[in-house]
């Protein structure tokens, strides 16, 4: 039994590590390591200690990169590890596994192990980056492997084990397998991971032991510790920072984080196996898996070769030529219908939001409803740039003379819901004389559909956008000026023209990638 579970986990890991989404998150993880412990004069920080910065000892570098990895991978990594059960179902692998002696518990345990292997490979790369940063910085040439790796073992890995278990559970619970699951997880992540930094939250990041150890080090060096505050999150600090020498957590200080880690790992296993209550080993007669229209989005990362090519039958006798002069308009309208398919109440929700936004007076440099306006269409945008289980859609769209025309139709169809959501706030801003804020909102309404199209084109599925966009949105509402795509921070936000230029670049990259794929057929 254990051998079969291990073989399943290893085979699944080998298959998933070749996917573009894995490479994107891995590169993002390595970039985060360089931001958490920059070698040059960068002012970006992931771990903040008021106006201080630690010298790059093995313990300090290991701690700050481990904390950054915990926050980043618990959100971005979740979007990559989930969906594997749905892929097995859609590709037919699940049917083959159902014919083996592997039980439901064994299958879910194998998927949980595969998720852990994915996270473990990324943490190894991040730890290697931390070691390289320490040696390049030159603050300390003494490498303490135990203090470097201890935060990963005690803090990051147990937390990611819980994330891996939740991913398995979300893949089995009806209603959480698609885009709704991504939104639910973002809410869970916000409450638990970010709440771990508060005094009353669950100490998932081991912050109490870390901050206590740093305070003891500062006090021993004669520094006042009364006003020292700590935080985890990507911020830029332009102040002249002082330095402190902290060796990191040692084995003797591992008691608290270790006990929390053991509890997290136990909870992770229980959460993963809890999915057996809904999972029926791909027996469609029992569960109806694959038969629910609402679950179609959950299959969005199924490789085109594995997806059914007979989603529907075309009757050539009923096909008519495209009407001259209306091809482009009809293509945009058709793509818009595809985006809103299965979401009949979407326009009603947009109308309710518009009515509420009209009753709110612009306050400050922007309209307060704008950030929330750009959340409502997120599940529509995640369908852009790919065709999941679309059957013979390419034949239906044969009237489009080129992939470029077709891609532009997809882009315009994604921009229309964005414009519908920001229309009322923009009109209120123009009426208040805040034309720059209005221009920023319009530029942001073009950027996000372009980003969705690019993410969908790269990975051929919705997961990457559903992972990247919540983090971008969270940075915006926390007034990280470099991520403020809607201009809610006023003059500190990027210029609307720069945002529009980035949107054009993303759209051009997505169109070019689609054209290359079309030419290679």
Same domain, yes or no: 220 and 323: no
Same domain, yes or no: 326 and 248: no
Q: Give the Å distances, CA to CA, from 363 to 35, 46, 351, 370.
A: 34, 31, 22, 11
| Residue 234's pLDDT band (cuts 50, 70, 90) | low
CB atoms under 10 Å from CB of 319, counted, come to: 11
Same domain, yes or no: 47 and 177: yes
Check whether 371 has a pLDDT greater than 80. Answer: yes
Same domain, yes or no: 245 and 351: no
Same domain, yes or no: 159 and 39: yes
Strand 52-54 and strand 242-244: pairing?
A: parallel
Q: What pLDDT does 31 receive?
A: 82
CA distance 108 to 113: 9
E strand or H helix at 424: helix 403-431
Say what percent of the chain tops pLDDT 70.
83
Q: What pLDDT does 383 receive?
A: 83
Structure confidence by residue, pLDDT tens digits, 104-124: 888 888 899 999 999 999 999
DSSP letter, residue 97: H
CA distance 294 to 376: 18
Q: What pLDDT does 324 receive?
A: 45
CA distance 249 to 209: 8
Same domain, yes or no: 65 and 104: yes
Mean pLDDT, the chain, rounded, equals 79
Q: What pLDDT does 465 receive?
A: 86
DSSP letter, residue 362: P
Check whether 506 has a pLDDT greater than 90. Answer: yes
CA 292 from chain centre, in angstroms, equals: 25
Q: What pLDDT does 152 receive?
A: 92
For 204-259, the DSSP string reads: TT-HHHHHHHHHHHHHHTT---TT--EEEEEEE--S--EEE------GGG-HHHHH
Q: What pLDDT does 243 receive?
A: 78
Same domain, yes or no: 242 and 284: yes
Same domain, yes or no: 21 and 80: yes
Assess if residue 199 is contained within a domain: yes
| Residue 244's pLDDT band (cuts 50, 70, 90) | confident
Assess if residue 304 is contained within a domain: no
Check whether 394 has a pLDDT greater than 60. Answer: no
Assess if residue 300 is contained within a domain: no
Check whether 453 has a pLDDT greater than 60. Answer: yes
Same domain, yes or no: 234 and 345: no
Assess if residue 131 is contained within a domain: yes
Structure confidence by residue, pLDDT tens digits, 404-414: 778 888 889 88
> 301-312 burial, b for 16+ CB within 10 Å, e for fewer?
bbeeeebeeeee
Assess if residue 86 is contained within a domain: yes
Q: What pLDDT does 239 receive?
A: 63
Say what percent of the chain tops pLDDT 90.
12
DSSP letter, residue 46: E
Q: What pLDDT does 37 receive?
A: 77
- What backbone phi and psi angles, to 5 degrees, belong to 328? -65, -45
- Identity of the highest mean pLDDT range in 44-53, 419-428, 510-519: 419-428
Q: What pLDDT does 169 receive?
A: 92
Check whether 161 has a pLDDT greater than 90. Answer: yes
Check whether 400 has a pLDDT greater than 70. Answer: no
CB-based contacts of 147: which residues, under 8 Å, 6+ apart? 57, 58, 59, 62, 247, 248, 249, 250
Higher-scoring residue by pLDDT: 119, 255: 119
How many domains does the chain contain in total? 2
Assess if residue 311 is contained within a domain: no
CA distance 19 to 306: 14
Same domain, yes or no: 377 and 264: no
Higher-scoring residue by pLDDT: 390, 13: 13
Assess if residue 482 is contained within a domain: yes
CA distance 510 to 252: 52
pTM for the model: 0.75
Same domain, yes or no: 334 and 202: no
Q: Can you give the residue range of the structural domain that contains 231?
A: 2-292
Assess if residue 16 is contained within a domain: yes
Structure confidence by residue, pLDDT tens digits, 51-74: 777 888 888 889 888 988 888 888
Residue ending a domain, among 243, 277, 292, is 292
Q: What pLDDT does 306 receive?
A: 40
Same domain, yes or no: 117 and 166: yes
Residue 196 contacts residue 203 (beta carbons within 8 Å) = yes
């Amino acid at each position: 039994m254990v051998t079969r579970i291990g073989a399943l986990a290893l085979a699944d890991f080998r298959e998933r590590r070749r996917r573009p989404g894995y490479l994107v998150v891995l590169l993002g993880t390595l970039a985060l390591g360089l931001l958490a412990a920059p070698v040059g004069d960068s002012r970006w920080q992931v771990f903040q200690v008021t106006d201080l910065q630690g010298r790059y000892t093995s313990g300090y570098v290991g701690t700050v990169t481990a904390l950054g990895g915990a926050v980043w991978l618990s959100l971005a990594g979740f979007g990559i590890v989930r969906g594997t059960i749905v892929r097995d179902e859609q590709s037919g692998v699940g049917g083959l596994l159902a014919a083996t002696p592997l039980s439901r518990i064994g299958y879910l345990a194998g998927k949980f192990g595969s998720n852990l292997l994915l996270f473990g490979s990324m943490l190894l790369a991040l730890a290697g980056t931390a070691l390289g940063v320490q040696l390049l910085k030159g603050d300390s040439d003494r490498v303490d492997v135990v203090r470097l790796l201890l935060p990963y073992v005690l803090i990051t890995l147990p937390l990611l084990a819980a994330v891996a278990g939740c991913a398995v559970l979300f893949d089995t619970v009806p209603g959480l397998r698609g885009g709704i699951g991504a939104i639910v997880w973002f809410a869970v992540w916000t409450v638990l991971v970010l709440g771990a930094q508060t005094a009353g939250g669950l100490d998932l990041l081991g912050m109490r032991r870390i901050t206590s150890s740093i305070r003891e080090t500062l006090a021993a060096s004669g520094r006042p510790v009364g006003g020292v505050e700590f935080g985890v999150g990507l911020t830029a600090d332009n102040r002249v920072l002082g330095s402190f020498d902290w060796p990191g957590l040692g084995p003797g200080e591992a008691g608290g984080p270790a006990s929390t880690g053991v509890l997290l790992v136990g909870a992770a296993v229980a959460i993963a196996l809890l999915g057996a209550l809904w999972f029926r080993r791909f027996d469609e007669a029992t569960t109806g898996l694959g038969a629910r229209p609402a679950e179609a989005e959950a299959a969005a990362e199924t490789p085109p070769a594995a997806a059914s090519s007979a989603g529907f039958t075309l009757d050539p006798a009923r096909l008519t030529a495209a009407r001259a002069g209306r091809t482009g308009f009809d293509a945009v309208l058709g793509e818009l219908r595809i985006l809103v398919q299965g979401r009949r109440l979407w326009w009603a929700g947009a109308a309710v939001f518009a009515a509420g936004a009209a009753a709110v007076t612009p306050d400050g440099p922007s309209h307060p409803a704008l950030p929330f306006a750009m959340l409502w269409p997120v599940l529509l945008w995640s369908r852009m740039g790919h065709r999941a289980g679309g059957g013979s859609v390419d034949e239906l769209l044969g009237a489009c003379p080129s992939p470029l025309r077709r891609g532009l139709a997809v882009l315009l169809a994604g921009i229309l819901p964005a414009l519908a959501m920001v229309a009322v706030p923009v009109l209120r801003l123009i009426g208040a004389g805040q034309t720059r804020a209005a221009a920023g909102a319009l530029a942001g309404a073009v950027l996000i559909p372009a980003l969705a199209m690019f993410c969908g084109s790269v990975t051929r599925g919705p997961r990457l956008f559903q992972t990247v966009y919540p983090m971008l949105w969270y940075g915006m509402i926390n007034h990280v000026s470099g991520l403020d795509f809607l201009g809610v921070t006023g003059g500190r936000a990027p210029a609307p023209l720069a945002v529009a230029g980035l949107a054009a670049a993303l759209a051009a990259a997505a169109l070019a990638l689609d054209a290359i794929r079309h030419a290679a057929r």
